Structure 1
Amino acid sequence: MKQQIITFLTFQENNAEQAMNFYVALFDNSKIIDIQRWGKDGPVKEGAIMKATFDLNGRTFMCSDSPPVHAWTFTPAVSNYVECEDEAEIDRLFLKLSDNGTVTMPPDNYGFSQKFGWVIDQFGVSWQLNLQ
């Protein structure tokens, strides 16, 4: 089997499914591939995501609702970098991702591209949006 490197998102507030559905609806050509859920005797609430695989415009991601609550969470030091097709796309993505999130760099020309924005979404996941 060919080795793959897949981004795995660990959610600690039982919101993995909500985040996954949000991302799949946000990005074109995206879909949920597989969901495995915790049963009634699991370490988290029944139906929570044990492991799910989804595709965002050709890139595979995985996620779960973590049974233990860890002392760490997502960090902006690791982020998803999205090359946008046009200004309408970067504006749309930034608007949706920043809703109930945190803007770290509003969309602007910072000298290294035509338009760039950085946001931490409502789930704590960091996104860099770029328009060359």
Structure 2
Amino acid sequence: MTSYIQPYLFFGGRCEEALEFYKSAIGAEVQMFLRYSDSPDPMPPDALPEGYESKVMHASFKVGGSVLLASDGCGGEESKGFRGFSLSLALPSAAETDRVFAALAEGGAVNMPLGKTFWSSRFGMLQDKFGMGWMITIDPSVDSISA
């Protein structure tokens, strides 16, 4: 077995909403979904804020060939956004790149509009409505600039 890194994203109480959004925006496929109330072991007393029993304890979702992990966390505070990294997503066509960029930008903020750069015919950066940073590009293997 080889070592690997998987992003584990914490959505501060909005994980289920985020998963539904990513399913429609980028075709994410949820592979596992476990609520705190589904845990085979009881949570320690005072480990969760009141009402968190129905929140997401653990989920995994697949985007293309990558698997990401997600949770609501157990702090009960709203997510303050994700800092210090972005998820980079390469898509198989110009049309799909345009569609996904527009879908992820809905309710978020565009940091760099999707456009031509010296390394790609389509590249853009944004922060989605959950505060997740994204770098969206056309797959270099099908891009006329990088091919």
Task: Please report the TM-score for the alignment, with normalisation by the length of structure 1.
Answer: 0.85
In the TM superposition, what whole-angstrom CA distance separates every residue of 1:68-95 from its partner, at most 9, and x where no partner exists? 13895302x3111111222111110111
Is residue 2:101 matched to residue 1:102?
A: no
Q: Report how far residue 26 of structure 1 moved.
A: 2.7
Rate the CA distance shift 1:32–1:95 in 2: closer, same or farther, 3 A. same
Cα distance in 1 for residues equivalent to 2:126 and 2:62: 21
Cα distance in 2 for residues equivalent to 1:106 and 1:91: 11
Is residue 2:91 matched to residue 1:84?
A: yes
Rate the CA distance shift 1:34–1:87 in 2: closer, same or farther, 3 A. same
| 1:34-53 map, 5 Å | 34-39=32-37, 43-44=48-49, 45-53=52-60
Whether contact under 8 Å (2:116, 2:123) holds in the other structure is yes
Q: Report how far residue 27 of structure 1 moved.
A: 2.8
The structure with more radius of gyration: 2
Cα distance in 1 for residues equivalent to 2:101 and 2:79: 29
Task: Please report the TM-score for the alignment, with normalisation by the length of structure 2.
Answer: 0.77
3-state DSSP class of the match of 1:82? strand
- Structure 1 residue identity aligned to 2:120: S
- Aligned position for 1:33: 31
- Aligned position for 1:5: 5
* Sequence identity (%): 27
Q: Report how far residue 20 of structure 1 moved.
A: 1.3
Q: Report how far residue 51 of structure 1 moved.
A: 0.8
In the TM superposition, what whole-angstrom CA distance separates every residue of 1:8-53 from its partner, at most 9, and x where no partner exists? 10111x111111122123334x421111211297614221001111
- Aligned position for 1:130: 137
- Structure 2 residue identity aligned to 1:43: L
CA RMSD between the two structures: 2.2
The total of aligned residue pairs comes to 129
Larger fraction in strand: 1
Q: Report how far residue 107 of structure 1 moved.
A: 0.9
List 4+ stretches of structure 1 deviating above 3 A: 1-4, 69-73
